[in-house]
């Protein structure tokens, strides 16, 4: 069955940012235009970053008119930017159909003084809302609305760079949504982000984070040429604990997930990362820590422990600092690399995990509350 335009998240006109090189070449060929025009157009889009087709001066007026009648440029409109220039900034964007998504821009200096190597991470959203219903996460609270289009994913980078005047050099799919449930648009977006004719971000600086969709993990291992990184939101080291907080574990339990992770490992060079939020009395026992260590060791994963951030409307809290440190030590005793986020909020995971659709209700976007 063909996917409807609504499912694909398209309006009457499509954004040109999602086409990619091949798509553009095909579109040009249908019109009897020379293939090198694709290169010119891509340069206007991704290097010169024009804001209108009229600025594409090396194209004929007729071609510019044809482009205008088929496409729009950036599909995002900035609604609001929150946060200080040197810290974490949240960008709220309105899509063409009025829906809202957020991206979070996080600057973190790496290394010692003198070196100005700064990691400028953008945490991007892949869907409006989320269907996976993880019990600790704010993004799923209002249900699932729709997939983002390829253009809407890529455009988050371009828009943040235009608004901030800064360069994004690291992308994490840890915003709203389950990226692997939007597989087609995700892969197309990764290709455009990574391509030298596109945004030009190295594969190692692109991380896909998933709640554990096993079949799609294998597919990604086979399909994606770029050496992207994969992060797994684990949050429970036994089926019993994980199922309680992540319903997706009923569908793909830890055996199936780890089978997929072994498959990934056999085909890819980049290390896996496990994300594990520490929630008091839920998944923070030392038994879980030891099991987590064993599991991480079995697939050579790095473990990232993240103290739970309180979400309005959810009952949990983070464990004491002593318990967090004890958990960390128990994980490390399995001889795996593990880190514990000690920053007080504002860090990547905390900020990203707390994107939700509350603003849709405030701004009167229809159907926001029930995800229609
Ligand atoms: N669906 C994908 C992408 C969402 S990112 C996935 O599940 O990986 C999900 C991440 O956000 C979690 O792994 C966690 O690191 C973070 N997160 C979500 N809710 C959080 C909370 N309440 N406190 C801290 N981090 C949270």
The alpha-helical segments, DSSP class H, found in the chain are: 20-30, 36-42, 61-70, 150-164, 183-194, 214-223, 239-245, 248-251, 254-267, 286-299, 321-332, 348-353, 358-362
Contact assessment for residue 282 and residue 323, using Cβ atoms and an 8 Å cutoff? no
Catalytic residue among 25, 33, 102, 178: 102
Q: Residue 138: its pLDDT value, please?
A: 86
* Active-site residue, 312 included: no
- Domains in the chain (CATH in brackets) are 14-72 (1.10.150.530), 77-363 (3.20.20.70)
Residue 136's CB is within 10 A of a number of other CB atoms, namely 21
136 Cα to the center of ligand 1, angstroms: 8
Place of tokens 């003198």: 114
For residue 192, give both structure tokens.
């455009």
pLDDT of amino acid 209 = 97
Alpha carbon of 278 to ligand 1 centroid (Å): 11
- Give the distance (Å) from ligand 1 centre to CA of residue 63: 44
Whether 320 contacts 365, CB under 8 Å: no
Question: Which residue is catalytic, options 130, 178, 352, 360?
Answer: 352
Rounded to two decimals, the pTM is 0.92
User: Tell me, what's the pLDDT at 88?
Assistant: 86
Residue nearest to atom 8 of ligand 1 (CA): 210
Strands 170-173 and 14-15: unpaired
Would you call 43 a catalytic residue per the annotation?
Answer: no
pLDDT given at position 270: 87
- pLDDT < 50 regions, the chain: 1-12, 345, 367-372
Q: Which of 131, 178, 275 to mutate to test the pocket of ligand 1 (most atoms within 8 A of CB)?
A: 275
* pLDDT attached to residue 260: 98
**Protein residue with least CA distance to atom 18, ligand 1:** 353
pLDDT at 10: 43
Which of 124, 136, 248 to probe ligand 1 with, by most ligand atoms within 8 A of CB? Answer: 136
CA-proximal residue: ligand 1, atom 7 (nearest): 211
Q: What phi and psi values does residue 253 have, to the nearest 5 degrees? A: -75, 180
Query: Which residue has its alpha carbon closest to ligand 1 atom 3?
Result: 174
Q: What is the per-residue DSSP string for 246-278?
A: -THHHHS-HHHHHHHHHHHHHH--SPEEEEEEE
- Using the mean position of ligand 1's atoms as its centre, give its distance from the Cα of residue 180 in Å: 14
Find the residues whose C-beta lies inside 6 A of ligand 1.
Answer: 136-137, 174, 178, 209-211, 233, 275, 277, 306, 308-309, 311, 349-350, 352-353
pLDDT score at 1 = 34
């Amino acid at each position: 069955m063909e996917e409807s335009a609504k499912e694909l998240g398209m309006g009457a006109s499509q954004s040109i940012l999602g086409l990619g090189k091949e798509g553009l070449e095909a579109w040009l060929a249908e019109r009897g235009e020379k293939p090198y025009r694709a290169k010119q157009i891509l340069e206007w889009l991704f290097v010169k970053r024009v804001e209108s087709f009229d600025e594409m001066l090396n194209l004929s007026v007729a071609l510019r008119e044809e482009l205008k009648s088929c496409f729009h440029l950036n599909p995002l409109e900035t609604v609001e930017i929150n946060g200080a220039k040197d810290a974490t900034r949240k960008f709220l964007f309105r899509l063409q159909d009025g829906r809202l998504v957020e991206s979070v821009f996080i600057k973190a200096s790496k290394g010692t003084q003198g070196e100005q190597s700064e990691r400028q991470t953008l945490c991007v959203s892949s869907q409006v809302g989320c269907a996976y219903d993880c019990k600790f996460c704010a993004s799923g609270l209002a249900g699932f609305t729709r997939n983002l289009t390829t253009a809407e994913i890529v455009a988050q980078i371009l828009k943040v760079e235009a608004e901030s005047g800064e360069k994004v050099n690291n992308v994490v799919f840890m915003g709203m949504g389950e990226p692997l449930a939007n597989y087609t648009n995700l892969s197309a977006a990764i290709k455009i982000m990574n391509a030298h004719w596109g945004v030009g971000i190295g594969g190692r600086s692109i991380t896909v984070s998933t709640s554990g969709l096993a079949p799609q993990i294998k597919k990604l291992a086979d399909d994606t040429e770029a050496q992207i990184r994969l992060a797994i939101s684990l949050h429970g080291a036994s089926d019993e604990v994980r199922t309680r907080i992540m319903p997706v574990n009923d569908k793909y339990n830890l055996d199936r997930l780890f089978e997929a992770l072994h498959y990934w490992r056999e085909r890819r060079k980049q290390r896996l990362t496990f994300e594990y939020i520490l929630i008091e009395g839920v998944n923070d026992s030392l038994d879980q820590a030891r099991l987590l260590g064993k599991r991480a060791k079995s697939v050579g994963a790095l473990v990232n422990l993240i103290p739970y951030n309180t979400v309005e409307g959810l009952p949990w809290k983070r464990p004491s600092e002593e318990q967090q440190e004890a958990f960390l030590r128990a994980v490390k005793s399995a001889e795996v690399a593990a880190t514990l986020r000690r920053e007080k909020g504002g860090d990547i995971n905390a900020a990203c995990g707390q994107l939700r659709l509350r603003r849709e209700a405030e701004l009167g976007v229809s159907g926001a509350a029930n995800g229609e």
